[in-house]
Amino acid sequence: MASSNWDRMLRIDLNRRTYAVEETTAQLEEYVGGMGRGVKLLLDEMVAGADPLGPANRLIFSTGPLTGTLAPMFAQTCLVTKSPLTGTILNTYAGGDLGAEIKFAGYDALIFEGQADDWSYIFIDDGHVSFHDAAHLLKMDSLGTEQVVREELGVAQARVITIGLAGQNLVKFAAILSGRRVFGRGGAGAVMGSKRLKAIAIRGTRGLDVYDRGAFLAAVDEANSVINKELANEFSLLGMFSRHGTGSGMGVVNEQGALPTRNHYMGYFADADKIDSYAYARDYPTRIISCYACPVHCGQVHHINKGPWAGLVTRGPEYETMYALGSEVLNSSAEALAKANDLCERLGMDTLTAGTAVALALECAEKGIIKGEGSKLKFGDPRAVLTLLEDIAHRRGLGDLLAEGPGVAARELGGEAPAFAMQVKNSGFAAWMPRRMKGTGLSFATANRGGCHKRAPIGAEIMGFVDMDAVEGKAAMVKEIQDKVNAIFTLVGCRFSEFVLPLESYLALLEGATGTSLSAEEFMTLGERIWNLERVFNVAEGFRRKDDSLPGRCYTPIVGERSKGAVLTEEGMNYMLDEYYSLRGWDSEGVPQAAKLAELGIEAYIARMST
């Protein structure tokens, strides 16, 4: 029978410059696709303790069964690898057209392994793979590389993913660029750099079919009608994202004193309206862009046509970057923020962890922890931010230390620095405050990839559906959203799809596309199974309760307007963590118990945790 899955993957060995097409096993198919497939593969193929920047690490680009089809909001690609930033398993996502192109080339997933001696780039042209020298590209930024690779190959429509200087220099939070979209979190760009792989180009010309065209198209129509109804209301979340991008929600966060400001010292940024989406739309020509087959089109490309960086054209900044390189460092210049955003894209760095590392440096300078030339750094000076970003990517001076991640850098800087390095497991905080939103704090602490906002009860807390300051009941909310989003990420549904599509819609689309029929309960259990597999991976790497923790600043009161005095207590955090571990079926150290793994059908992995 037809299916939207090819049931085959392309494996590329960078040492030997060979490639092979592999059939997917039935056991792997149980994980549906996307994140599930990637996590299972990495766990099975990589021994515990292996160097994330060594040849044993894999870069697994994993699509979902709905990628490349007409299903709306399924354009992203999942990337699974071991993070050099955190030492944990990592899954990170980029939108755009890459996933569809992988499917059109005839694969569900691409796996890169080994480590080449010389820099190369790879061209996957349907069934043919070629290796190309990349030494001449090393001085080029990510976006320039994309253009040159396309020209050299003579294939204008190829999708090209690249790393920038940060990836080449193994900056621990280096990103992988996919056109104007980014695999941002966790340092996948450094893994690609460690393999001396500068770029991957891919062209697919095959068509995709689905299991049951009638049922699938009916499910697509249903999903579209729900989404379109939402988009018609300009005050709905997607309606706002569609018109003004993710930065349209800054006001609701800021006015509740929950916008991290000045390295999380404050929760209110008086200049937020100078850098939010409306400020960009008002002052600069703005064009809306969309991912493959997505009616939401939340991407915003801004043309900065005045000021010191006139001529700059950049996608974003997104809301999260408005925090990391805006409020967090007291940068109220929309132009400087656009420049910092563009710099991170060209150098290939995660704006979130870069921003938290920079904010750490600014505060260390202010407190006299950094001496010498660096002591002149100060909040509110956008030029200092731009210089530090360059220094990080080049690994110059203080930048070389910051390139190791905010947690590692803070330990090295010493003094009280670790207390205000806003990170979990060395991964920088996303744009939310644990002191103000307690459930989100628990999500940050327990996230398998560290400091993650993708699986947090942010909406319920920020919209006032639950008391954001309460700790009671938060553990159950966090567990549910973690499991649910993991399940959605097996389909590689956009995170925003969860705002609008009912669970039944995902299941109908999956069944129409592949014939796989799952109940809502089975779908949620799939998410829980994957969450536990990730946890097994991390436990085998030595992660325990002590690592599910927040920096000291979270236990001191917020200063300033709107949320003055809001605080998370250590008792409150322990209460949430105890309840969370209990609900998860983990012991008090956060180790999954054998009975839980057996219940989820993954008891074969119990042994890994004792290695």
Partner 1 sequence: MKVQVKFTSLYRVRTRIKETQLELPEGSTLYDLLAAVDALTGGSCHTLLYDGEAGRPGPNLLLIVNGVPSARLAGYGTTLKDGDSVAFVPPMAGGSLGSFGGGASVWVLSC
Q: What is the dihedral of CA 176, 181, 185, 188, to 10 degrees?
A: -20
Write out the two tokens for 311. 């001529």
How buried is residue 235: exposed, middle or buried, by Cβ count under 10 Å (0-12/13-18/19+)?
exposed
Question: Does 236 interact with partner 1 (rule: CB under 8 A)?
Answer: yes
Q: Going by DSSP bridges, is the β-strand pair 286-289/128-133 parallel, antiparallel, or unpaired?
A: unpaired
> Is residue 190 close enough to count as binding partner 1 by CB under 8 A?
no
Which window, 25-33, 99-107, 229-237, 391-399, contacts partner 1 (CB under 8 A)? Answer: 229-237
Size of the site for partner 1 (CB under 8 A): 58
Backbone angles phi, psi at 198, to 5 degrees: -80, -35
Does the footprint of partner 1 cover residue 456 (CB under 8 A)? yes
Sign of CA dihedral 232, 235, 238, 241: positive
Count of residues in the chain: 611
Q: Please state the closest distance from residue 494 (CB atom) to partner 1, in A.
A: 11
Task: Pick the binder of partner 1 from 172, 195, 454, 545 (CB under 8 A).
Answer: 454
Q: Which stretch binds partner 1 (CB under 8 A): 37-45, 111-119, 275-283, 578-586?
A: 275-283
463 binds partner 1 (CB under 8 A): yes
Identity of residue 58: R
Q: Which two tokens stand for residue 163?
A: 């790393």
Where does this chain touch partner 1 (CB under 8 A) — which range of 72-80, 269-277, 359-367, 596-604? 269-277
With CB under 8 A as the contact rule, the residue among 255, 366, 390, 587 that binds partner 1 is: 255
The one among 254, 321, 327, 490 contacting partner 1 by CB under 8 A: 254
Amino acid (one-letter) located at 397: G
In angstroms, what is the minimal distance from the CB of 374 to partner 1?
A: 33
Neighbours of 604 (CB within 10 A): 10
Chain CA centroid to CA 569, Å: 28
Which residue, 155 or 503, is less far from partner 1 as judged by CB?
503
Q: Give the tokens for residue 583.
A: 């609900």
Q: Where are the alpha helices (DSSP H) in 263-413?
A: 272-275, 277-283, 319-324, 334-347, 351-366, 382-394, 398-402, 406-413
Find out whether 162 and 177 touch, Cβ atoms under 8 Å.
Answer: yes
Least Cα distance to 503 among 489, 484, 525, 490 occurs for 484
Element (H, E) at 124: strand 120-125
Q: What's the closest the beta carbon of residue 344 comes to partner 1, in angstroms?
A: 18
Check binding of 575 to partner 1 (CB under 8 A).
Answer: no
Nearest distance, CB of residue 228 and partner 1, angstroms: 11
Local structure of 444: helix, strand or coil: helix
Q: Pick between residue 218 and residue 252 the one whose CB is nearest to partner 1.
A: 252
Residues in contact with partner 1, shown as a per-residue x/- string from 314 to 353 under the rule CB under 8 A:
-----xx---------------------------------
- For the segment 23-52, give every residue that binds partner 1 (CB under 8 A): none
Looking at beta carbons only, is 159 or 454 nearer to partner 1?
A: 454
Nearest to partner 1 of 188, 481 (CB atom): 481
Interface residue with partner 1, options 1, 207, 235, 311 (CB under 8 A) = 235
Q: Which is nearer to partner 1, 34 or 87 (CB)?
A: 34
Task: Please tell me the distance from the alpha carbon of residue 238 to that of residue 483, in angstroms, as a whole number.
Answer: 22
* 256 lines the binding site for partner 1 (CB under 8 A): yes
| Residue 223 in contact with partner 1, rule: CB under 8 A | no
Measured CA distances, 9 to 198, 462, 519 (Å): 21, 41, 27
- Using rule CB under 8 A, residue 233 touches partner 1: yes
In eight-state DSSP terms, residue 131 is: E
Query: By 3-state DSSP, what share of the chain in percent is helix, strand and coil, each rounded to 5?
Result: 45, 15, 40
Residue 260 interacts with partner 1 (CB under 8 A)? no
Q: Give the range of 194-202, 254-262, 284-292, 411-419 binding partner 1 by CB under 8 A.
A: 254-262
For the bound state, the minimum distance from the C-beta of residue 490 to partner 1, rounded and expressed in Å, comes to 17
Residue 565 within binding range of partner 1, rule CB under 8 A = no
384 alpha-carbon distance from chain centroid: 26
Contact between 197 and partner 1 (CB under 8 A)? no
Indicate the residue among 152 and 467 with the shorter CB distance to partner 1: 467
Q: Rule CB under 8 A: say whether 219 interacts with partner 1.
A: no
CA distance 304 to 268: 26
Q: Which three-class secondary structure state does DSSP give residue 353? A: helix
Residues 521-560: x/- map of binding to partner 1 (CB under 8 A)?
Answer: ----------------------------------------
As a whole number of Å, the CA-based R_g of the chain is 22
Query: Which one of the spans 28-36, 199-207, 247-255, 421-429 is the region binding partner 1 (CB under 8 A)?
Result: 247-255
Beta strands in 376-535 (DSSP E): 423-424, 427-428
How far, in Å, CA of 366 to CA of 362, rounded? Answer: 6
Q: Toward partner 1, which CB reaches closer, 492 or 602?
A: 492
The residue within the footprint of partner 1, chosen from 62, 63, 261, 563 (CB under 8 A), is 563
Closer CB to partner 1, residue 320 or residue 391?
320
Site membership for partner 1, residue 480 (CB under 8 A) = yes
Which one, 297 or 562, has the nearer CB to partner 1?
562
Choice from 226, 419, 567, 609 touching partner 1 (CB under 8 A): 226
Give CA torsion, residues 64, 68, 74, 80, to 10 deg: 40
Q: Min. distance of Cβ 379 from partner 1 in angstroms?
A: 22
Query: Please, which residue, 499 or 555, has the CB nearer to partner 1?
Result: 499
Exactly one of 42, 200, 220, 238 binds partner 1 (CB under 8 A); that residue is 238
Separation between Cα atoms, residue 483 and residue 202, nearest integer Å: 32
CA angle 16, 20, 23 (to 5 degrees): 150
Decide: 312 and 285 in contact? Cβ < 8 Å: no
**Cis peptide bond prior to 72, omega within 30° of 0:** no
Query: Site residues for partner 1, window 486-525 (CB under 8 A)?
Result: 495-496, 498-503
Beta strands in 164-227 (DSSP E): 176-178, 181-183, 197-203
Residues 277-316 vs partner 1: string with x where CB under 8 A? xx--------------------------------------
Residue 239 binding partner 1, by CB under 8 A: yes
Burial of residue 39 (CB within 10 Å: 0-12, 13-18, 19+) is buried
Applying CB under 8 A, the residues found at the interface with partner 1 are: 226, 230, 233-240, 244, 246, 248-252, 254-257, 268, 273, 276-278, 319-320, 431, 453-460, 462-465, 467, 476-477, 480-481, 485, 495-496, 498-503, 561-563
